[in-house]
Amino acid sequence: MEYYQKSSYRSSKKYKQKSSGGLPDLLLFYILPFVLFNSILFYCVASSPKISLEVQDTNDYLSTEASMTIESWFPTKSISFNMDGEELEPVKGKRRTYTVPITRNGVLEVTVVNLNGMSSTVFRHVNVLDDIPPSFENATLDDGILTLRVTDSQSLVNSDAIYAVDSTGAQRTPLSVERIEDTVDNTTAYSLTFEMDLNGLHVYVQDKAGNEAQKTFSTHKEGNLDVLEVGPEEESADPDTGIPNTLPDDGQETEPAADLPQEEASSSGGSDVSIVIE
């Protein structure tokens, strides 16, 4: 009778083969899935949207447009456009693009919140619009007619928003408004004429962007001459009345501004006076 004995060499080889496969199996079926799952979970929890925000140039210096594009794998929960504390209403375009009109300079803030609660905020400074009021360059008084030279750049002067308020509070329209010169630095000069109130005339000039400049003109007697006086330039009126408090009272003499040169006419007519405003 023959007996077969199991080879110890073969048994030990199979045992070694079985033992050597334990570490790869651990990496493949346990550690790698664990790392992959937690990586995906972390991405889902911590992923924030990427925002591309651009402010367009302007053609008229009155308005412009900002466009935003969102890049994210997650749906958007909320979007907010804010300009210096004022909420702006965006308009949705193709895919995940939004636009919003802008009518003044300032800091534009955009916040996007993903469905997972993560958010991103970007800021853009808007400075392409006209926020500089017109400038009074010089003034002359001749035979009771006040002639002003006013300049403005970018949006230009709004002829329909030029008026004056006299010493009694009555509003006066200009006798004429004429565009007289365009300079190489994109500045336009205008000639304005008003019937002068010798006791005080406050002139308002506004450009097409709504920026307003103001200046008070009055006269006082020096012998037989009516000498023109020019008050400081202002940029806004009283929000309640629209009439500044700088108008001189009737019969009360107002001292000329110290920083403005003054020229008296030598004619005996007593009304021809010229002042150049630096």
Backbone angles phi, psi at 134, to 5 degrees: -60, 165
In the chain, what is the greatest distance between 2 CA atoms, to the nearest angstrom?
Answer: 158
Sorted by sequence, the CB contacts under 8 Å of residue 206 that are 6+ apart come out as: 133, 134, 157, 158, 161, 162, 212, 213
pLDDT score, position 107: 96
Q: Are residues 166 and 118 in contact, defined by beta-carbon separation less than 8 angstroms? A: no
Averaged pLDDT, 65-69: 96
Please give the Cα distance from 20 to 40 (Å, whole number). Answer: 31
- What percent of the chain lies above the pLDDT cut of 90? 53
Instruction: Give the pLDDT of residue 57.
Output: 93
Cβ pair 179, 218 in contact under 8 A: no
Give the model's pLDDT for residue 10. 52
- Alpha-carbon dihedral 245, 247, 249, 251, rounded to 10 degrees: 170
26: pLDDT confidence band, cut at 50, 70 and 90? confident
Q: Bridge partners of 83? A: 86, 108
Query: What is the mean pLDDT of the segment spanning 120-147?
Result: 94
Q: Which of 21-25, 176-180, 260-264 has the lowest mean pLDDT?
A: 260-264
Contacts of 150 (CB under 8 A, 6+ apart): 134, 135, 136, 137, 157, 189, 190, 191, 192, 205, 213
Mean pLDDT of the region 115-137 = 94
Distance CA 94, CA 107 (A): 25
What are the pLDDT digits (tens) for 195-248? 999 899 999 999 999 999 999 999 988 888 888 888 876 655 443 334 444 433
Rounded average pLDDT over 104-113: 95
- pLDDT value of residue 68: 96
Measure the CA angle with vertex 262, ends 259 and 263; round to 5°.
165
Mean pLDDT score of the chain: 79
**Per-residue pLDDT, 7:** 53
Q: Which residue has the tokens 């006040």?
A: 146
Give the pLDDT of residue 64.
Answer: 96
Structure tokens at 29: 């079926």
Lowest mean pLDDT among 104-108, 156-160, 230-234: 230-234
R_g (Cα) of the chain, nearest Å: 38
The reported pTM is: 0.65
pLDDT at 235: 59
Please tell me the distance from the alpha carbon of residue 175 to that of residue 163, in angstroms, as a whole number. 10
Determine the residue type at 105: N
